[in-house]
Structure 1
Amino acid sequence: MNNAAWNDARSVLCIRLDSLGDVLMCTPAIRAIKQSRPGRCVSLLTSREGVAAAPFIPEVDAIIDYAAPWMEASGAHHPAADTEFIASIAARHFDAVAIFTSFGQSALPAALTCYLAGIPLRIAHCRENPRRLLSDWIPDLEPATLIRHEVRRQLDLVASVGCTAASLGLSFSVLDNDVEAMRARLLAAGINPDRQWLLLHPDSSAPPRRYRSAHWADVIRDIARRTGVPIILAGNAAERPLIDEIHRGCGDAACLLAGELNLGELGAAIKLASVIISNDTGSVHLAAAVGTPVVDLCALTAPQHTPWQVESLVLFNDGTAPARVVDAACALLARSARMMLRAMMHKPNG
Structure 2
Amino acid sequence: MATPIVPYLGTVDSHIIFDTPWMKLEHTDQPAKILHLVEKLRTYQFDGCIIFSVYSQNILATALLTYLAEIPLRTAYSRENPYQLLTHWFPDPEPLSQINHQIKRDLMLLQMLDIDPDLRRLPQLRLYRDIYPDATPSLEDWALPASYIIVNMEVSEPKRQFPSQHANELLRSLLNKGEWIIFTGQYESDYLQDCIQGISDPRFINLIGKTTLDDVLCLIERAKAVISVNTGIVHMACAYSRPTVVLYANTNPQHIPWSPRSTQIVFDIPEMHKSKNQIIKYVDKLSPEETHTIPSATEILNCLVSL
TM-score (norm 2): 0.84
* Aligned residue type for 2:229: N
**1:323 match:** 298
Deviations 1:111-159 (A, max 9, x none): 0011001101011111100001011111111111111001101111112
- SS of residue paired to 1:64: coil
Gaps in structure 1 of 5+ consecutive residues? 1-48, 336-350
Deviation of residue 206 (structure 1)?
A: 2.7
Please state if 1:127 is matched with 2:72: no
Deviation of residue 308 (structure 1)?
A: 1.0
8 Å contact from structure 1 (residues 240, 258) kept in 2? no
8 Å contact from structure 2 (residues 55, 92) kept in 1? yes
Distance 1:249 1:85 in 2: 51
Aligned residues: 277
Please state if 1:246 is matched with 2:195: yes
Distance 1:124 1:146 in 2: 17
Distance 1:171 1:241 in 2: 34
Distance 1:265 1:158 in 2: 34
**2:14 match:** 62
**1:216 match:** 167
TM-score (norm 1): 0.74
8 Å contact from structure 1 (residues 86, 117) kept in 2? yes
Matches within 5 A, 1:238-277: 240-252=189-201, 254-277=204-227
- SS of residue paired to 2:209: coil
Deviation of residue 328 (structure 1)?
A: 2.4
Distance 1:104 1:219 in 2: 33
8 Å contact from structure 1 (residues 51, 63) kept in 2? no
Percent identity between matched residues is 29
Please identify runs of 4+ aligned residues in structure 1 that moved more than 6 A: none
* Aligned residue type for 1:184: E
8 Å contact from structure 2 (residues 235, 257) kept in 1? yes
**1:184 match:** 140
Matches within 5 A, 1:308-347: 308-318=258-268, 319-329=294-304, 331-332=305-306
* Aligned residue type for 1:149: H
**1:157 match:** 109
Matches within 5 A, 1:1-350: 49-166=1-118, 168-176=121-129, 177=132, 181=137, 184-185=140-141, 188-189=142-143, 191-193=144-146, 196-225=147-176, 227-237=177-187, 240-252=189-201, 254-318=204-268, 319-329=294-304, 331-332=305-306
Question: By percentage of residues, which structure has more helix?
Answer: 1
* Aligned residue type for 1:155: L
Distance 1:93 1:240 in 2: 46
Deviation of residue 296 (structure 1)?
A: 0.8
Distance 1:328 1:304 in 2: 20
- SS of residue paired to 1:295: strand
RMSD: 2.0
Deviation of residue 303 (structure 1)?
A: 2.1
Distance 1:76 1:66 in 2: 9
Deviation of residue 241 (structure 1)?
A: 4.2
Distance 1:122 1:109 in 2: 13
- SS of residue paired to 2:166: helix
- Indicate how the Cα distance of structure 1 residues 145 and 224 shifts in structure 2: closer, same or farther if over 3 A, else same: same
Deviations 1:44-64 (A, max 9, x none): xxxxx1222210001111110
